[in-house]
Structure 1
Amino acid sequence: MGSNFSKTLREEEIEEIESETGFTAKQITRLYNRYSNLDKANKGYLGREDFQHIPEIAINPLGERIIDAFFDQDDGDGVDQQARVNFRQFIRVLAQFRPVSSTRAGDLQLNAKAKKLKFVFDVYDLDKDEKISREDLTKVLQMMVGSNVTSDQLNSIADCTMAEIDEDKDGFISYDKFCKAMDGIKIDEKMSIRFL
């Protein structure tokens, strides 16, 4: 499908997307219409500014990190992913927020627990070095709480979190440490949106 798209999806495209994402044909059609509506200039792709006009993202303290998730993908088409998001990329990110289905189990699914954990980990990994530093953690916490806590309180939260998760005291939270810390959290339930 690349970065350009026609005004309608072909049946074989819908079937491919259904298989890849777990969305139903009806959900895909609705999401395609939403995607098309976001592309107000009819460019055939979405840019950062298109996402910034979504009210739910604009008011979310982690809005920019959520937007980043759409642009941090590689679909192998050679297009600069920092500049544009095609429909396939758009729906792949949204698929990570689908509730886990008991009939479609497996770690390869876009909405599998492992994929959801990686998504959340990447939100915290600001410099994309595959580890969360105290600085990464502090900046994301600051985004989340804004001016509701003092700098000392924020530093205390970051220090406590690092002390609890960074068992080997190397100063970083690796993906493995992060997963271990999130083991008791029902991420499948916390990171799910019901799509109509």
Structure 2
Amino acid sequence: MGAQQTRAEHNNHDLSDKTGFSMEQIKILQKRFQKLSGGSETISRENLNNIPALADNPIKKQIIEAFFDKRNQHNGEVGAYDQIGFEEFLMVMSHFRPPSLRTTEDEKKRLRKEKLRFLFNMHDTDSDGKITLEEYRKVVEELLSRSGAIGLDAARAIADAAMLEVASTSMPDMPADYFYEGITFEHFEQILNGLEMESRMHIRFLDVNTVTMRCDRK
């Protein structure tokens, strides 16, 4: 029992170094993971699909897929997992970790870049390094059509117009006949320059039943 507890604590120290979470936060998230998995060592998309807090989120599908996207593990891999363990779950949750009072300016810049990369990956669904019009359109259609305020055709027209605006912002000297292939991560950073990320991507640590995630789009 003692040896098993020591190994678990050592493992949690390693996870703390990798993710920036405190030991206390890791214990809370372990309880949350066990609740989601039903005591299993892995969780599936179905487990996350049953989270009540995500039920009405217009980008629910993208958020769930982000947990299984290998790009969000910082290991250089591309592709998707069928199921993930606690370490993979924790690595994804670390993108929602707010900076602490001890976080340096360099660390804040790194955290911001990681959050932006996470958001970029959510939209770059084919992992080709660009957010294409088709990918962007799908997200906008979901956001607008699910609100019930406008129809699908109108949502598509707004998505197309928004993409053209992004293209002109990213490449102000773009020739009239130039085909804009999509938003690169560098363009994505420019577009969201000045956007305060901490209030839009954060996690609250209260107890196992109220750990929540936000991924607002404003």
TM-score by length of 2: 0.75
Task: Give the Å deviation of 1:81.
Answer: 4.8
Task: Give the Å deviation of 1:101.
Answer: 2.8
Question: Which residue pairs with 1:33 in the alignment?
Answer: 31
Question: Which residue pairs with 1:161 in the alignment?
Answer: 162
Question: Which residue pairs with 2:191 in the alignment?
Answer: 181
User: Compared with structure 1, are the counterparts of its residues 171 and 192 closer, same or farther at alpha carbon in structure 2 (3 Å cutoff)?
Assistant: same
Structure 1, unpaired ranges of 5+: 1-5
How many correspondences in the alignment?
Answer: 188
Instruction: String of CA shifts for 1:68-120, please: whole Å, max 9, x gaps.
Output: 111012667x9x952111001101111110112342347778x7000110111
Letter in structure 1 aligned against 2:99: V
Task: Give the Å deviation of 1:189.
Answer: 2.6
Residues 116 and 188 in structure 1, CA contact (< 8 A), matched pair in contact too: no
Q: How does 1:1-196 map to 2 (within 5 A)?
A: 10-40=8-38, 42-73=39-70, 81-105=80-104, 112-145=111-144, 146=146, 147-166=148-167, 167=171, 168=174, 170-196=180-206
Task: Give the Å deviation of 1:176.
Answer: 0.9
TM-score by length of 1: 0.83
Task: Give the Å deviation of 1:157.
Answer: 2.2
Structure 2, unpaired ranges of 5+: 207-218
Which protein is bigger by CA-based radius of gyration? 2
Residues 68 and 84 in structure 2, CA contact (< 8 A), matched pair in contact too: yes
Paired residue secondary structure (1:162):
helix
Residues 107 and 115 in structure 1, CA contact (< 8 A), matched pair in contact too: no
User: Compared with structure 1, are the counterparts of its residues 137 and 128 closer, same or farther at alpha carbon in structure 2 (3 Å cutoff)?
Assistant: same
Residues 140 and 156 in structure 2, CA contact (< 8 A), matched pair in contact too: no
Take 2:7 and 2:31, find their aligned partners in 1: how far apart are those partners?
10
Task: Give the Å deviation of 1:194.
Answer: 2.7
Q: CA RMSD in A?
A: 2.8
Paired residue secondary structure (1:193):
strand
User: Compared with structure 1, are the counterparts of its residues 16 and 106 closer, same or farther at alpha carbon in structure 2 (3 Å cutoff)?
Assistant: farther
User: Compared with structure 1, are the counterparts of its residues 9 and 65 closer, same or farther at alpha carbon in structure 2 (3 Å cutoff)?
Assistant: farther
